[in-house]
Structure 1
Amino acid sequence: MTLNELAQHDGRNGNKAYVAVNGRVYDVSASPLWQNGDHQGAHQAGADLTRELATAPHVRAVIERFPIVAHIEDPDPPKKKGLLGFFKK
């Protein structure tokens, strides 16, 4: 799943509520603490919360209780130009 696809799962208007942490995408839709994709006014579903979780008042194990539904895809690395093109005149 790309970050753009993750953003579509914001828990609003009937969408599932997904959050990403450390490359894993969790479905938090069933949690009463994530109603409409909002977590106590501090976080919104559809986002990568890896950094935010580092300062959360609870441990990472709390988010890991939710089902993993996908993994975040790494963006393609920039393509390197081959030496062949360098030597062509």
Structure 2
Amino acid sequence: MELPTYTKSQLALRNGQDKPQVWVAYKGLIYDVGESRLWKNGKHYEHWAGQDLTAELADAPHTETVFEKFKVIGLLS
């Protein structure tokens, strides 16, 4: 199945506030993190949903394997 592509502005709306979806992007893939209690209301510590977190992962206390538990729902254009 081919994944839909979303722009950064479309991703930005999926922040748990403007729209109910809670999505984040990492290395060109968009993940649905809405099921995670750590992303309640679209906020995860100092990070907000609806953004590309690729550059911010270096500062996180975890590695990119954290994304394996979330469903990939699209590609970031």
TM-score (norm 2): 0.87
Q: What one-letter code is carried by the residue in structure 1 that aligns with 2:29?
A: R
Aligned residues: 72
Is 1:51 matched with 2:55? yes
Larger mean Cα displacement after TM superposition, 17-26 or 53-62 = 53-62
- For structure 2, the 5+ residue unaligned runs are 1-5
CA RMSD between the two structures:
1.1
Contact 2:24 2:30 in 1 (8 A): yes
1:64 maps to which residue? 68
2:3 maps to which residue? none
SS at match of 1:50: coil
Q: Identify the structure with bigger relative contact order (alpha carbons < 8 Å, sequence gap 6+).
A: 2
More strand by share: 2
TM-score (norm 1): 0.76
1:83 maps to which residue? none
1:38 maps to which residue? 43
- For structure 1, the 5+ residue unaligned runs are 74-89
Runs of 4+ aligned residues of structure 1 deviating over 6 Å after TM superposition are: none
